Amino acid sequence: MQTRTVSDSRRCVKTVVSRRKPGAWHGVEKPLIIGDAMVAQERRRRPPRLFRQLATLGLTSFGGSPAYLQTLVDDNEGLTSAQYLEGLSLVYCLPGATFSNLGVYVGQLLAGPGGAASAFLLLVLPGALTIAVLSALFLGTALPPALVAGLRAAGAATVGLAFVSCLQVVGRARGSRGAPLSGVLAFLLAGPLGLGLVPALLLAGGFSVWANRPRGRG
Amino acid sequence: MADLHAIWELLLLFLRLGLTSFGGSLAAMPEIQRAVVQQHAWLTPTDFVAAYAIAQVAPGPSLLVSIPVGYGVAGPLGALVATLAFFLPSTLLAWSISHWWHRLHDAVWIITFRRAMAPVAAGLLAAGVLALGRAAIVDGLGAALAIVTAVFLLRTRVPAAVLITGAGVLGAVGTSLQL
């Protein structure tokens, strides 16, 4: 009995080829789809590293930009850049905090419901506890200048991280029709022109969906 | 004992904001300020600015402003209620849609959405980084730290957490020495 395992990004297929009865399948391999079990096995391997990365992000992601989660992208064994972009596109269409929602998406993708719950807690709890302590100590009074300066400097440094992450995302988002125009349009509407996310999403997204609509053959 | 009516109002306010705030803190903050300062007069404008500042200097989503606002209105219970009301329903919605999304991965309209929205998401992300930069960089030192961090990340393998922590220590020590 020979067992061969084939896996791709979407499903895991285990193929069994019997050598005891040649010709039993007339040269056709009998596929045994055991996707759920193998996906679960894949997920068990990922969490320790994923959770370490998420915990680091939870402690350092000042401002909560979803760009920080770009640091999780590892095209070889973890989150691919295409999956990151897909998640980013999706969470911009959902209400709530884009940072934690994207974390939930990534956690669900890589490690199932437990991964989604862990991602939310790891990304939100450190900041929540910090803010709770600061609120209890300093709300209604002035924060110590050294503390403010330290946190502000750390916050400024994270802008550098967000900028680099954003550069990497922009570099990978050029594969569709009209991509430069729709990307620049979204940036201008939501950024310098200050129209907000919803109008930018509707206008730039509407244009991009129209440009990339399925077209009939011939 | 915390004012139960205020806690109920907090719950309703942040529940509504959590389920209607597309665009993160920049979209939600004016509405929070209007409700908390003008409509209910729970916080003075000065207290609201302090609450906003506390949320900005900590890591994580800036919509965690729900904690100092809730705390200012009704103490620890207010902070807990406002935060759970904001994050729990929208997170559960994001989780359930993510779960369903992965299962429909090969549908034609999802393939179209994926292809079409990637550049739009990148543009929106760039706009968000611009807004983050405007909020977080308030002086020359901040600009210098952001540039140095970006250069180190692009040219070296120094972990981002080390750079960010180092910047924080530098800022705190520098201010202490000036005082």
Q: Residue B177: what pLDDT?
A: 82
Q: Residue B104: what pLDDT?
A: 82
**B93 vs A113, B19, B20, B97, CA distance in Å?**
13, 9, 12, 6
Looking at residues A47-55, what average pLDDT do you find?
Answer: 85
Q: Do B125 and A169 touch (CB under 8 A)?
A: yes
Asked if A128 and B60 touch (Cβ cutoff 8 Å), the reply is yes
Looking at residues A23-47, what average pLDDT do you find?
Answer: 51
Residue B81 has pLDDT above 90, yes or no: yes
Hey, which of A11-15, A107-111, B36-40 has the most confident mean pLDDT? A107-111
**A60 vs A130, A158, A199, B69, CA distance in Å?**
12, 8, 31, 22
Question: Which residue from A198, A213, A183 is spatially nearest to A93, judged by alpha carbons?
Answer: A198
Over residues B138-163, the pLDDT tens digits come to 889 899 999 999 999 899 888 887 88
- Residue of A72, A110, A139, A185 to mutate, testing the B interface (most B Cβ within 10 Å of its Cβ): A139
Residue A141 has pLDDT above 80, yes or no: no
Residue A20 has pLDDT above 60, yes or no: no
* Helix boundaries (H) for A62-143: 81-92, 98-138
Return the residue of B nearest to A114 by Cα. Answer: B95
Asked if B160 and A71 touch (Cβ cutoff 8 Å), the reply is yes
- The model's confidence at residue A155, banded by pLDDT at 50, 70 and 90, is confident
Residues of A in contact with B19 (CB under 8 A): 95-96
Q: In what order do the strands lie in the sheet with A12-17?
A: A2-7, A12-17, A30-32
Gyration radius of chain B over CA positions: 20
Higher-confidence residue of A57 and A216: namely: A57
Looking at residues B2-17, what average pLDDT do you find?
Answer: 88
Residues of A in contact with B158 (CB under 8 A): none
Over residues B104-129, the pLDDT tens digits come to 877 888 888 888 888 998 898 888 88
- The model's confidence at residue A184, banded by pLDDT at 50, 70 and 90, is very high
Please provide the DSSP assignment of B80-92 as one string. HHHHHHHHHHHHH
Looking at residues B71-87, what average pLDDT do you find?
Answer: 93
Residue B167 has pLDDT above 60, yes or no: yes
Q: Strand pairing of A2-7 and A12-17?
A: antiparallel
Query: Above 0.85 for ipTM, yes or no?
Result: no
Residue A1 has pLDDT above 80, yes or no: no
Query: What is the nearest CA distance from A78 to chain B, expressed in angstroms?
Result: 16
Tokens at residue B155, please? 């040219």
Residue A19 has pLDDT above 70, yes or no: no
Q: Residue B25: what pLDDT?
A: 66
**Mean pLDDT, chain A, integer:** 77
Cα–Cα dist B147/A181, whole Å: 28
Cα–Cα dist A132/B80, whole Å: 9
**A36 vs A12, A113, A130, CA distance in Å?**
8, 14, 39
Residues 175-194 of A with CB under 8 A from B: 175-176, 178-180, 182-192
Q: Residue B2: what pLDDT?
A: 59
CB-closest option in A88, A101, A189 to B121: A88
Looking at residues A202-210, what average pLDDT do you find?
Answer: 92
Q: Do B172 and A149 touch (CB under 8 A)?
A: yes
Tokens at residue A122, please? 């790891």
Percent of chain A scoring above 70 in pLDDT: 75
Residues of A in contact with B29 (CB under 8 A): none
Q: Residue A143: what pLDDT?
A: 73
Asked if A95 and B18 touch (Cβ cutoff 8 Å), the reply is yes
Q: Residue B114: what pLDDT?
A: 81
Return the residue of A nearest to B89 by Cα. Answer: A96
A27-41, A51-65, A191-205, B29-43: segment of lowest average pLDDT? A27-41
Q: Is B172 exposed, middle or buried (0-12, 13-18, 19+ CB in 10 A)?
A: buried
Cα–Cα dist B168/A153, whole Å: 5
A20-34, A87-101, A192-206, B75-89: segment of lowest average pLDDT? A20-34
Cα–Cα dist A61/A68, whole Å: 7
Over residues B45-67, the pLDDT tens digits come to 877 877 877 887 788 888 898 99
Q: Do B72 and A135 touch (CB under 8 A)?
A: yes
Q: Which residue is it, tokens 């994050």?
A: B87
Asked if A141 and B80 touch (Cβ cutoff 8 Å), the reply is no
Q: Residue A76: what pLDDT?
A: 56
Residues 6-25 of B with CB under 8 A from A: 18-25
